[in-house]
Amino acid sequence: MSLNDFLTQHPRLTKSFKNFVHDFQKKMDDETFTAFLDTLDAELSRVSGELQAISPESQRARTLHHLVDSEIDSEKEIQVSCRKGCSACCHMEVEITNHEAQILSQLILDGHPIDRERLSRQSLRELQDPLWKQGMRNQDNPCVFLNSEGSCSVYEHRPVMCRRHSVTTPAKNCETLDATITVRYFPKVDLYISAANEDSTVLIGPMAKMISLELGGRS
Ligand code: SF4
């Protein structure tokens, strides 16, 4: 399979997965790279097909979460700095899918307490709003699910973008925003997410906006 055919066949690859594929192209001869693309193509189609067979959509998202967790857990030998209570990444923009918004909205409707006014204010921000770049310095930036101990109050239900975020540089670097931050890269996690995104029912957007839309649609 050629690279063009591969990209046409899989138009919703994550940006980082596309970069991963391009990096491999530089390291491999043509024959090996073609075989590599064939393998990726088969695996993307397999995972995508298996996920799309799952219903309802919220369960599809939960299955993706389990796949991602298993992959990250299988690579425990690499030291990660992320710890309970270090929450700088929970003050930044997080994108989620509409399927994940269904999970989180249901928790809210079931009584999980959040600051609805902050959710509303965050939902008015455009994608990549510069306010997110202020991180912990902006008091309106904390995720509505971040509790007073600096922990995620919906940890078991958190979106895939929160699950995949693993930093190897010191945790304090995440707080200052001007220090180097190295995020671990899991190619298989990216493959799973890319495969899940091939589902035509998947929409992606900023968390607060997606949750507000979902809540609005249910009231
Ligand atoms: S859902 Fe949880 S882990 Fe994700 S940004 Fe919000 S508080 Fe942090």
Give the model's pLDDT for residue 12.
96
Residue segments in the chain with a per-residue pLDDT below the cut of 50? none
Provide the residue type at 23 as one letter.
D
pLDDT value of position 110: 97
Query: Per-residue pLDDT tens for 42-87?
Result: 999 999 999 999 999 999 999 999 999 999 988 777 778 888 888 9
Q: What pLDDT, on a 0 to 100 scale, did the predictor assign at position 184?
A: 87
Residue 141 Cα to ligand 1 middle (Å)? 11
* pLDDT for the residue numbered 59: 98
Query: Among 97, 154, 160, which is best to mutate for testing ligand 1, by the most ligand atoms less than 8 A from CB?
Result: 154
This model's pTM is above 0.85: yes
**Spatial CB neighbours of 91, under 8 Å, sequence gap ≥ 6:** 132, 135, 136, 138, 141, 142, 143, 146
What is the distance between the alpha carbons of residues 36 and 191, in angstroms, rounded to a whole number? 13
Q: Enumerate residues lining ligand 1, CB below 6 A.
A: 90, 94, 143, 145-146, 152, 154, 158, 162
Structure tokens at 93: 């923009």
